[in-house]
């Protein structure tokens, strides 16, 4: 249960960081602060649901694109999150591509690095 909560927190934090960084870097990626929490939740849930679905779909029908599953699920999650009013707005093809890359990189790094930090702290506490 604790691992699930930690992974959920990491997912929400990395989603928030990814969206914030994309909004800081890309002028056509806008966040409306009133809907920011909704955008984070929608993005994180969509990402969690879509990743395994898209992976299985690609494995069955297009195994050559398996390496790009994270990018595809990030793009689709951004698309779904942008459909909710008052959250994020993305304009232009280049912004969509760059936003997908930025958010994917940040969420991937965060999902990889943050558990190491939490596990390191947990190991220190267990030794003490």
What is the residue-wise DSSP string for 26-54?
A: -TTEEE-GGGHHHHHHHHHHHHHHHHHHH
Q: Which two tokens stand for residue 14?
A: 């990395």
Query: What number of CA atoms fall less than 13 Å from residue 127's CA on the CB side?
Result: 6
What is the value of pTM for the model shown? 0.80
pLDDT at 62 over 70: no
Confidence (pLDDT) at 122 = 67
Per the structure, the count of domains in the chain is: 1
Confidence (pLDDT) at 128 = 66
- Confidence band for 113, pLDDT divided at 50, 70 and 90: confident
> 58: burial class by Cβ within 10 Å (0-12, 13-18, 19+)?
middle
- Confidence band for 94, pLDDT divided at 50, 70 and 90: very high
Q: Measure the CA dihedral 32/35/40/45, to 10°.
A: -140
Confidence (pLDDT) at 121 = 67
Give the structural domain span for 7.
2-127
């Amino acid at each position: 249960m604790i691992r699930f909560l930690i992974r959920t927190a990491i997912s929400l934090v990395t989603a928030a960081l990814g969206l914030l960084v994309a909004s800081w870097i890309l002028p056509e990626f806008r966040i409306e602060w009133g809907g920011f929490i909704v955008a984070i939740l929608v993005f994180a849930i969509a990402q969690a649901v879509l990743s395994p679905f898209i992976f299985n779909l690609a494995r069955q029908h297009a195994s050559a694109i398996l390496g790009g599953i994270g990018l595809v699920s990030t793009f689709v999650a951004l698309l779904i999150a942008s459909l909710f009013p008052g959250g994020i707005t993305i304009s232009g093809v280049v912004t969509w591509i760059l936003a997908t890359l930025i958010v994917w990189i940040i969420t991937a790094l965060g999902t990889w690095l943050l558990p190491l930090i939490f596990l390191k702290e947990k190991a220190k506490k267990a030794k003490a």
